[in-house]
Amino acid sequence: MKRPGFFPEFNRSQRRGIIIIFMLIILLQLAIYQSDNLFQKDQMTSKIPPDLQKQYDSLKIIALKKQEQKIYPFNPNYLTDEKGYFLGLNLDQLDRIYAYRKSGKYFQTKHAFKQVAGLSDSLYKILEPYINIPAYKNFTPPQYTYKKISNYDINKASAEDLRNINGIGAVLSARIIKYRNAIGGFTRKEQLNKVYGLTPEVINKIWQTFKLKPQIATPKKINVKPVNTATAEDFKKIYGIGDRLAERIVKYRKKIGGFTIPEQLNEVYGLKPEVITAFWQEFKIENPAPIRFKVDLNEANIKELAENPYISYPLAKKIVSYRTLHGAFRNFDELLNVPEYPKSKHKSICLYLKKI
């Protein structure tokens, strides 16, 4: 039995006609769709007349400008790069404005601002309503008066005179005065280099303003004090000796039972040579500290030698070993041959030894 075909109720000719009608409908739909696309494309690609395009662009620019940040009143005497850029100024105009202000001048009128900056008439017309230069304000740079100092003797200069030098404040001026008093007045320019905190540039400025008159500067009269009875406060009067060093000197003096020779001060840690020199201008060993005990170098044992404040126990052992190997010491200078012997303290060590 045959299967029913397409539209079995119609004969073959009728079915063929139906198919043709469907095909025509589809073709008609495609034609309509294509024509719509072409019409829309023609509309999109059609060109706007130049006059209308120009008007459109102008309106667009105006609309965009309205959306931008508003211009606020400004004073050209305080104009910055950022503000100038926003106002439409270029780099050359900003440079001219900065150079004018750097020369010490200030804008007094709006027209002066236009002339100096080189603003175009159109830009000035836009900015002119926003330029605000207070009429009551005088933009004259402040005038400072300094005490005129020329070829002034540095040994007579006060702390106020020194502060007129750029780079010297209250601390440095007081430090210079204190050092000058400690050494009894400057006699050489090199002495100023020892003042802590002064840079070479500042020292050069000092000698451009002041001069040295050593023949006029009179040495300070020094009341020499006995070093073994002086207090820490007395030591602190020396330039370069503070609380810590003063206490260190007192502690060391107590350890050795008092200063006997000036060289003993060199053994105090932290004292600079120039401070030691200034120290002995203020103090003296009026009554040398008596040596509490002296030992015989050739008879003393290790323990007895170690009682010397300058001889440690290991050093005492080395001295006894050397004496055992080489025989008795003939003089104190033979101690210099002992291994690791502190030669810098030799003179102080000998104070506590009996003569050979």
Residues 341, 311 contacting (CB under 8 angstroms)? no
Half-sphere exposure of 174 (CA within 13 A, CB side): 3
Q: What integer is the mean pLDDT of 149-172? A: 82
Q: Which residues contact 35 (CB under 8 A, 6 or more apart)?
A: none
Among 158-162, 194-198, 219-223, 225-229, the least confident range:
219-223
Q: Which residue has the higher pLDDT, 115 or 151?
A: 115
**CA distance linking residue 210 with residue 147, whole number of Å:** 13
Residues 249 and 253: their CA atoms lie apart, in Å, by 6
Domains of the chain (ranges, CATH numbers): 76-130 (no CATH), 152-211 (1.10.150.310), 225-284 (1.10.150.310), 302-350 (no CATH)
Distance CA 146, CA 132 (A): 35
Query: 117, exposed or middle or buried, with CB in 10 Å at 0-12, 13-18, 19+?
Result: buried
Pairing of strands 152-153, 283-284: unpaired
Which of 138-142, 278-282, 290-294 is least confident?
A: 138-142
Instruction: Determine the average pLDDT of the residues in 85-108.
Output: 83
Count how many residues are written for the chain: 356
From the number of C-beta atoms within 10 Å of its C-beta (0-12, 13-18, 19+), residue 313 rates as exposed
The predicted pLDDT at position 213 comes to 73
**pTM for the full predicted model:** 0.37
Higher pLDDT, 4 or 55: 55
Instruction: Give the mean pLDDT of 270-294.
Output: 83
Helix (H) or strand (E) holding 24: helix 12-45
pLDDT at 4 (0 to 100): 55
- pLDDT score, position 93: 85
Lowest mean per-residue pLDDT among 53-62, 87-96, 187-196, 293-302? 53-62
In this model, does residue 193 exceed pLDDT 90?
no
pLDDT at 136 over 50: no
Evaluate if residue 69 carries a pLDDT over 60.
Answer: no
> 192: which DSSP letter?
G
pLDDT at res. 146: 45
* Average pLDDT value over all residues in the chain: 79
The winner for highest mean pLDDT among 15-24, 148-157, 272-281 is 272-281
Among 63-77, 88-102, 328-342, which stretch is predicted with the lowest mean pLDDT? 63-77
Higher pLDDT, 50 or 171: 171
Alpha-carbon span 270 to 164, nearest angstrom: 34
pLDDT of residue 145: 46
| % of the chain residues with pLDDT over 70 | 79
Comparing 9 with 279, the larger pLDDT belongs to 279
Q: Which pLDDT does position 55 carry in this prediction?
A: 67
Look at residue 107 and tell me whether its pLDDT is greater than 60.
yes
| pLDDT average, residue stretch 298-313 | 87
The amino acid present at 351, given as its one-letter code, is: L
* pLDDT at residue 149 is higher than 70: no
pLDDT of residue 257: 81
Can you read off the two tokens belonging to residue 152? Answer: 């002034």
Give yes or no for residue 15 having a pLDDT over 80: no
Cα–Cα distance measured from residue 339 to residue 318, given in angstroms and rounded to the nearest whole number: 7
pLDDT at position 38 = 59
> pLDDT of 234-275, one tens digit each?
999 888 899 999 999 999 888 888 888 888 898 888 999 888
